[in-house]
Structure 1
Amino acid sequence: MAAYLSGLHHISLHVSNVNKIANDLVSKFKFSLFATRLTDRSRQLAFRKGAAVFVVNERPNQSGVILNEELPDITHRHSPDTRRLNVRKYEQGTAKCLYDISPSYSVDTVSNVCFEVEDVEKSFRDLRHLGCNFLVPPTTVEDEAGAVTYSVVQSVVGNVCHTLIDRTKYEGLFLPGFDVLEKDCNLEEDEDMSCPITHFDHITYACHRKTTLQVMRWYEQLFGFQRFFIDSEEDVDEGFVINQEGIGLRLTAMEYWKCSKAGIILPSVDKKGPDCKFVIAESLPEQGRNQVDTFLEQHRAPGIQHVGLYTENILSTAHAMAGAGVQFFSPPPAYYTEVGKQQEIEEAGHSPQMLAQYGILLDTDLHQGPLKTSCDNRRYLLQVFTKPIFAEDTFFLELIERRGAMGFGEGNIRALWRSVQAYMESERGDSQENENSKTVYIRAHETK
């Protein structure tokens, strides 16, 4: 591999209405606004919940704008490709976007997954040698708390890019250029325990058909990602395939390892395993159009379809979010009473009625064999999808609680994706009905 990843630092959103997304993240999803970078023409807001950090960037109105061009106060450091700047000078009269680029996109998008690396400049040289396209070369940004070096590389998935960042020489709470709003308080102690989200669990890409292997190879060769088998019997090349009952879907998962040389420590229940898995979703043609196709159409390119938020108590989290206005997808009511499922839920120590209240699904780890007699020894997970948080039916969030299970609820995938499919079909029906109503109205008035 060319670059060793030591952790996931943050995920960037680019939106036209920063106020709405900021309000939703704080009031509905219980994130805290903890750092800001504000200029006369742009805003970058950082929100956190546990170790999960979203940076929300204001998307420029003009097309074709790529930020980070022509950075001022540049001096060479170590190599001609490295740029250095002082934040105070950089802030004056500029609307440029730090640690990212600003896509000339006509819809809101989640387009940057930022990784911490051991050596940005070495990663840049090695990755560029392998043909990677860098949108921002190594750039060092500093303030009174120290220096951070970063670069931005374009991935092979649509508009997704990766900021590679080295903050080992920085003692601040976030990044140079951002004003931290909570300098004098302990961020960990300030957590809302009714909504115990701790970190990003996984990121799912929606991709064009027959591109999964290309994406897998890219991440494997350049960043050392490894294959994660969703199901123990899935084919190495085919992935986890559902091609029946109106669902045509291929899912393939991969994982990276913190400090890829030595393994990883995860802040989860069992303290083992990858920090954040990546899932590639593509549709299959045999079962007709599904939500992957909808994403590709409305997003206008492959990209990040949803992000899984790990929670230590999904019932408490869903209750808090639902009370604040978050809407969740719900499976058909029969899910909770179907043969075996009700017993499975009860033997895991949960109430089917309580899970049904928020649309939460439970799946026992199929790799462990028959259910064990003790609830404490049973490996399972609970999960639920939110409805899209952008105006388009593109990006949404998932809540997931793992009780020893490391997969994605393969037993739930049909129910989860069917609930999303029903919603999107309903949305298309309502949209078509509104268009028909407008047409009738216009024709009626044209005849007067």
Structure 2
Amino acid sequence: MSNTDSTSLNLPIENPEAQDFLPLLGTDHVELYVGNAKQAAYYYMSAWGFQPLAYKGLETGSKDTVSYVVQQDKIRLVLTSPLGAGGEINKHINDHGDGVKTIALWVDDAAKSFKETTQRGAEPFMAPETQEDENGKVVLSGIHTYGETVHVFVERSAYNGVFMPGYMPWNPHYKAPDTGLRYIDHMVGNVGWNEMNKWCDFYRNVMGFAQLISFDDKDISTEYTALMSKVMSNGNGRIKFPINEPAEGRKKSQIEEYIQFYNGAGVQHIAVATDNIIETVTALRDRGVEFLTVPATYYEDVLDRVGEIDEDLAPLRDLGILIDRDEEGYLLQIFTKPILDRPTMFIEIIQRKGAKSFGKGNFKALFESIEREQANRGTL
């Protein structure tokens, strides 16, 4: 499915409790505010295999900001930096470091999406606005969500350009091979103490989502730390937002560490799907992406826990890929170390072999691995 399909599709219902009054067709793009967009684009191209798509800057008449757009299959990242001192983007970078500002959602009707959400209590970010050029028009609107994160609704059925008005095609000589990433599976938000239910209610009441699954501190805990999480999803299951909050533990949890260094709530990680996690992770590791590791003992009894799988265990063990099973099938997953200077955002690679869950059986091993990294940073 292309991001420029002009009409809603009859998408299967994965979460029948969701009201789905918007509706949402998928993730249009994710915009990160970064200190150096040119270098960030090179990183996502070289290390992750994203392809150059579009550019906005001084050459296109943008005097205040520069943006590079990179894409891999259905995943689109917009990397934006300020071109001068002061202003909202500089403040965002100063407060949070590089991080996700916008989760843009693809819709049929951006004006309707704005009306439906704001009349249910969403704080407006941008009223419906039409942007046009010789390739057609795009309608944008937006609302605030947790921290300084925003959702922008993108209506692009009448647009045939490379990305949206104001951007020019970007076709540099250098293009790295892709790494097999296909689409965003889910995006996780970290919020403060006792804020998880508030934001789950926001997605339920304001955006028509329903809770897909929940984990408490008995599910996600180690000897030292704990957290709680609920997964909110729209009806067709294309948009899934787990929301995490800290829980009481003996030491500082990864959520507390994130909130300390990010200076508030924000996007903790982006989970991207692949059809062959062994090939993808091998390529990423060869390009310098660093992953969390679990003890070799994890693999001694993993097949007793998850049962038969299609893959050979040896390459999964060599790469540190985790395995879990639910009633629908199994999944394979691995998590990078933080990809930014601050210990904030990271990326998950996931391959679903029928499973609809999020790897509950791996939580203990994963979180102990994160704690080892926290101990190395002196923040546990």
TM range (shorter): 0.7 to 0.9
Extract structure 1 runs of 4+ deviating beyond 6 A: none
- 1:414 shift after superposition: 1.3
In structure 1, the gaps of 5 or more residues are 68-100, 184-189, 258-263, 265-273, 369-378, 433-448
Aligned sequence identity (%): 26
Partner of 2:278: 315
Deviations 1:217-259 (CA, angstroms, capped at 9, x unpaired): 11111211111125xxx6xxx58743452231111101113xx
By how many angstroms is 1:346 displaced? Answer: 7.8
Q: CA deviation at 1:137?
A: 1.7
Alpha-carbon shift at residue 213 of structure 1 (Å): 1.0
- The alpha-carbon deviation at position 118 of structure 1 amounts to 2.6
Candidates 205, 225, 229, aligned match of 2:209: 225
| Cα drift, residue 181 of structure 1 | 3.1
Secondary structure at 1:246 match in 2: coil
Distance in 1 separating the partners of 2:314 and 2:305:
13
TM-aligned CA deviation for residue 153 of structure 1: 1.3
CA 1:423–1:286 in 2, change beyond 3 Å: closer, same or farther?
closer
Pair 1:242–1:345, CA change in 2 (3 A): closer
2:184 aligned with 1:200, yes or no?
Answer: yes
Q: Answer yes or no: is the 8 Å Cα contact 1:133–1:154 preserved in 2.
A: yes
Give CA-to-partner distance per residue, 1:237-294, whole Å, 9 cap, x none.
x58743452231111101113xxxxxx3xxxxxxxxx113111111211332111111
CA offset at residue 416 of structure 1?
A: 1.4
SS of 1:413's partner is helix
Which amino acid is 2:368 matched to? R
List aligned pairs for 1:212-251, cutoff 5 A: 212-229=196-213, 241-251=219-229
SS in 2 for 1:317: helix
Q: CA deviation at 1:150?
A: 0.5
Shift of 1:344: 5.2
Could you say if the C-alpha distance between residues 104 and 402 of structure 1 is closer, same or farther in structure 2, counting changes exceeding 3 Å?
Answer: closer
The aligned residue for residue 210 of structure 1 is 194
The reply to whether residue 349 of structure 1 matches residue 310 of structure 2 is yes
CA distance in 1, matches of 2:217, 2:185: 20
Q: How does 1:76-115 map to 2 (within 5 A)?
A: 103=92, 105-106=94-95, 107-115=97-105
Quote the residue 1:364 is aligned against: 325
Aligned AA for 2:357? G
Cα pair distance change 1:126/1:350, threshold 3 Å: closer
> Contact 1:50/1:191 (CA < 8 Å) preserved in 2?
no
Aligned partner letter, 1:405: A
Please identify, of 241-250 and 383-392, the stretch whose mean Cα deviation from structure 2 is larger: 241-250
Mapped contact 2:229–2:243 kept (Cα < 8 A): yes
- Whether 1:57 and 2:74 are equivalent positions in the alignment is no
The separation in 1 between residues aligned to 2:84 and 2:343, in whole angstroms, is: 21
CA distance in 2, matches of 1:387, 1:22: 19
Structure 2 Cα separation of the partners of residues 275 and 112 of structure 1: 17
Deviation at 1:173, TM superposition (A): 3.4
Residue 38 (structure 1) aligned with residue 57 (structure 2): yes
Report the secondary structure of 2:378's partner residue. Answer: helix
- Do structure 1's residue 414 and structure 2's residue 364 form an aligned pair? yes
TM-score by length of 2: 0.86
Q: Where does residue 148 of structure 1 map in the other structure?
A: 138
The residue number in structure 2 matching 1:128 is 118
8 Å contact from structure 1 (residues 345, 351) kept in 2: no
- Tell which has more relative contact order, 1 or 2 (C-alpha 8 A, sep 6+): 2
Asked whether the 8 Å contact 1:256–1:276 carries over to 2, the reply is yes
> How far is 1:191 from its partner?
9.9
Distance in 2 between residues matched to 1:345 and 1:7, nearest whole Å: 31
Larger Rg: 1
**Contact 1:204 1:278 (C-alpha < 8 Å) held by counterparts:** yes
Q: Structure 1 residues 49, 239: CA separation in 2 closer, same or farther (over 3 Å shift)?
A: farther
Give 1:66 shift.
3.9
Alignment CA distance shift 1:280-1:228 (3 Å): same
Deviation at 1:418, TM superposition (A): 1.6
Q: Aligned to 1:223, what secondary structure does the other structure show?
A: coil
Normalised by the length of structure 1, the TM-score is: 0.73
Confirm or deny: 8 A CA contact 1:239 1:252 kept in the other structure: no
Give per-residue Cα distances to partners, 1:65-118, cap 9 Å, x unaligned. Answer: 248xxxxxxxxxxxxxxxxxxxxxxxxxxxxxxxxx984643211121001223
Question: How far does the alpha carbon of each residue in 1:358-384 deviate from its partner, in whole angstroms, 9 at most, with x for none?
Answer: 21111122x35xxxxxxxxxx211100
Query: 1:326 aligns to what SS in structure 2?
Result: coil
Contact 1:204 1:305 in 2 (8 A): yes
Unaligned runs of 5+ residues in structure 2 are: 1-18
Which whole-Å CA distance do the structure 2 matches of 1:291 and 1:59 have between them?
A: 30
Query: Take 1:171 and 1:240, find their aligned partners in 2: how far apart are those partners?
Result: 50
> Take 1:360 and 1:164, find their aligned partners in 2: how far apart are those partners?
35
* Structure 1 residue 401 corresponds to structure 2 residue 362: no
The CA distance in 2 between the partners of 1:357 and 1:19, in whole Å, is 34
Q: Do the aligned partners of residues 240 and 408 (structure 1) sit closer, same or farther apart at CA in structure 2, a change above 3 Å counting? A: farther
Measured on the aligned residues, the alpha-carbon RMSD in Å equals 2.6
The letter of the residue matching 2:159 is Y
1:276 is matched with which residue: 228, 236, 239?
Answer: 239
**Which deviates more, 311-320 or 345-354?**
345-354
Distance 2:240 2:213 in 1: 11
- Equivalent in the alignment of 1:381: 331
- Give, in whole Å, the separation in 1 of the partners of 2:287 and 2:176: 17
Residue type matched to 1:207 in 2?
Answer: V
Q: Give the aligned length.
A: 354
* Cα separation, 1, equivalents of 2:136 and 2:217: 45
- Partner of 1:5: helix, strand, or coil? coil
